[in-house]
Structure 1
Amino acid sequence: MAFVKSVLTDADIIRLVRLNSRAGAEALYDRYAIALLIAIIRIVPQKSMAEHTLEQTFIKIWHSFDLYSPKKGKLFTWMVMIARSQAKDAYMPRLQEKQVLKST
């Protein structure tokens, strides 16, 4: 007998996360972590820094989830905007610092 895993929709995940459900947080991470990491790596090329930025991204998503509205856009779009912002905040100051050091 084959085991069939139930698939949660984004609406299910949103509902669970809003209930502060661990299952919701895990489902959110499982569904989107790889895609968000790819978006972050495009900005933050160092693997360890990108992984740390991913962790910070999910913390920010979790703490600001009440700001997400499906009426304003898709869940992934909202999350990738947060991921890119976190990546720029983490990496750009270091990149600018390196450029200043090279020019001196």
Structure 2
Amino acid sequence: MTAILTRDELAQALGRTGQGDRAAFRAVYESTSAKLMGVCLRILSDRQLAEDVLQDTYLTVWRKAETFDASRASPITWLVTIARNRSIDRLRSGAPMRTAAPIEAAIDLADAGPLPSAVTEQGDDVRRLNGCLEQLDEKVARCIRTAFFEGVTYDVLAEREGAPLGTMKSWIRRGLQRLKACLDQ
């Protein structure tokens, strides 16, 4: 079983990856691939496409790890942003999808505004967001972080927390409303 790296260890491993350290890259992959696969799979709804995008994601990480700046974003936020962008790019490319859902369902994924991850990467915004998240109930904050930064579905979150799906959706909806109110101050 592979050990999950802490935030600092992951940032250091990304820095070494940027210098061509294959062992560090392996550690980054082993520590984050399950989370990033979840992000890709949630957006693409097709395991094979998600695996292809995950591979593209790690190729990008290998090539761009030297640009990672721990003062601007957490390592997982940086990695999730790459996976999310690659997944959305794949949707937009018109690559054949083998799912039964119509492509129109993907419209909700793309947003003309800045990506949430791009917004949170800004130093002051990160501090404000984290401060507002700390004001929420610990369980609600954890669920919001997991859903939005790791791409875990509400169904999976509900199962993990032992709560009904409707309750999980309510927790997150009310938590997001409180976050918005806090951030608007």
Whether the TM-score (by the shorter chain) exceeds 0.5 is yes
**Alignment partner, residue 89 of structure 1:** 89
2:27 is the alignment partner of 1:37 = no
- Aligned pair in 2 of structure 1 residues 32, 69: CA closer, same or farther (>3 Å)? same
Structure 1 stretches of 4+ moved >6 Å: none
**Alignment partner, residue 21 of structure 2:** 21
Partners of 2:48 and 2:14 lie apart in 1 by 29
Length, aligned pairs only: 94
Cα shift at 1:54? 0.1
Cα shift at 1:65? 1.3
- Any idea what SS the aligned residue of 2:54 has? helix
**Alignment partner, residue 152 of structure 2:** none
Native 8 Å contact 2:40 2:54 kept in 1: yes
Partners of 2:50 and 2:103 lie apart in 1 by 20
Cα shift at 1:16? 2.3
Partners of 1:19 and 1:93 lie apart in 2 by 32
- Any idea what SS the aligned residue of 1:42 has? helix
- Report the RMSD for the aligned CA atoms in angstroms: 2.4
User: Structure 1 regions of 5+ residues with no counterpart?
Assistant: none
- Aligned pair in 2 of structure 1 residues 46, 66: CA closer, same or farther (>3 Å)? same
Native 8 Å contact 2:18 2:62 kept in 1: no
User: Structure 2 regions of 5+ residues with no counterpart?
Assistant: 105-185
Cα shift at 1:50? 0.3
Partners of 1:33 and 1:54 lie apart in 2 by 8
**Alignment partner, residue 110 of structure 2:** none
Per-residue CA deviation, residues 2-42 of structure 1 (Å, 9 max, x unaligned), is xxx8x672243134213211101100100000000001111
